[in-house]
Structure 1
Amino acid sequence: MDDITSVAPTPAVYQLSPEQIAGPYFRNPKLIRRNISEGAEGIPLVLRLAIVDAMTGHPVTDALVDIWHCNARGAYSGWSNVNPDKEADVGDIGSIPRTDDDTYLRGGQFTDKKGIVRFTTIYPGFYAGRALHIHVAVRITGGNNYLQERHVAWVGQLYFPGVASRAVLNAREYRGRAVSALTNEEDYFYETMGGEASILNVHTLGRDSNEDGFFGHTTIGVDTFAVSTQIKPEDFDKYTV
């Protein structure tokens, strides 16, 4: 299951994953950690991402993979006081002023020798005008630390199957919103930026209840020599605090 060592490394197997916007809520707090939840309430989510070179099919080792997403109520750390029930009219990085120094549901991991990173988090909620999603950035490094970082190769968003999301949104931590989540097909960025190629494979962790949580996994194909069109190097330098 998603074991990249068992598949012949050919370009036909791993397509280049589509990039999507980084959005206004990006930060770079330089948090290297597997568990990013910081006690946030919500349905548990264990996330495994395999990063492969789309040109060769080989694992991309020592890449720094950052993820960030909203909490069960739709709020992002750093912007906790922004009303998630009101649709934001801007999407550029830094276009919405930060409100706090919280860091929940953000963090990065370096890929292992199989190109894999693992995160423990919660199933994200949503904010007005969007489907449920997780942001991801892949940075190519010269080794397993920030000081040897070379460039940002890929920025994207990961989406969830509708059946799983509907079950999650019925849970106590997610109910009682003034607006409804969009379906994937109603989401502008999903529809216009290749979202159908970025849906996570999602399975329940327990047999009897969704409250036990979910396991989500996918493979992301990147061009290790490319420079992302969705985020600039200075964005990572600027939004570190």
Structure 2
Amino acid sequence: MDDTPSVAPSQAVYLLSPEQIAGPYFRNPKLIRRNISEGADGVPLVLRLAIVDAMTAQPVGGALVDIWHCNARGAYSGWSKVNPDKEVDVDEIGSIPRTDDDTYLRGGQFTDKKGVVRFTTIYPGFYAGRALHIHVAVRITAGNNYLEERHVAWVGQLYFPQVASRSVLNSREYSGRKALALTNDEDVYYKQHGGEASTLNIHTLGRDSNEDGFFGFTTIGIDTFAVSSHIKPEDFDKYTV
């Protein structure tokens, strides 16, 4: 399956993908890896993201794409002892003190020449007050090297089709929670800044069952010269490891 963007010169350029907050659970463990699961229980998810320059419709190669999301029970690594069934009213980076040094379900990849990154992870669960989502940050670099970073161009969140999420939340690893997941339409960030433009395309990996997992993909259009206000360079330095 190949969803790499193919754009003829006469076609319109890509739309800018909507930015969203980084949230309180951002950190920078500097983990370059494709498989970020670290053995976490959950329904498998293979994620494919294509990064495209919205001004030129050309793929953005050599960009550093970080993703992070909660586990099946709603916990984030670094904050594993925070109760995911209790809603928190803060959304800024660093607003919730870390509780541990775990690194599951976090990592980054450099885009290839086609602007594509691939991750192996699990379908995320949820924490109180939010729909199921994955955080993404795109850094423009001068090469595949942390020491040559330029700036953070785009920060966003990716959501899942409700039909797939309902099936996942009925699975053993996800069920039995005190809190209920919000639907996409109930999630304030989805409604105000995301919508369909932030929703992943999802296919099952197996023909007969969702237990084999899902394949999710989307194209993210960015302005490579933009400087995101949601994650600043000093945030990567301050919240390293």
Establish whether TM, by shorter chain, passes 0.5.
yes
In structure 1, the residue corresponding to 2:197 is in which secondary structure? Answer: helix
Determine if contact 1:21/1:155 at 8 Å carries over to the other structure: yes
Q: Which amino acid aligns with 2:110?
A: F
Q: Which runs of 4+ in 1 moved over 4 A?
A: none
Q: Which amino acid aligns with 1:17?
A: S
Q: CA deviation at 1:8?
A: 2.0
What is the correspondence of 1:1-241 to structure 2 with a 5 Å cutoff? 1-4=2-5, 6-8=6-8, 12-241=12-241
| Matched-pair identity in % | 84
Q: Deviations over 1:16-43 (max 9, x none)?
A: 0000000000010000000000000000
Determine if contact 1:132/1:181 at 8 Å carries over to the other structure: yes
Partners in 1 of 2:185 and 2:43 — Cα distance? 23
Partners in 2 of 1:54 and 1:162 — Cα distance? 28
Determine if contact 2:110/2:117 at 8 Å carries over to the other structure: yes
Q: CA deviation at 1:193?
A: 1.2
Determine if contact 1:50/1:219 at 8 Å carries over to the other structure: yes
Q: CA deviation at 1:196?
A: 2.4
Q: TM-score, normalised by structure 2?
A: 0.98
In structure 1, the residue corresponding to 2:154 is in which secondary structure? Answer: strand
In structure 2, the residue corresponding to 1:130 is in which secondary structure? Answer: coil
Q: How many residues align?
A: 240
Q: TM-score, normalised by structure 1?
A: 0.98
Determine if contact 2:13/2:55 at 8 Å carries over to the other structure: no
In structure 1, the residue corresponding to 2:158 is in which secondary structure? Answer: strand
Partners in 2 of 1:98 and 1:125 — Cα distance? 20
Q: CA deviation at 1:10?
A: 6.3
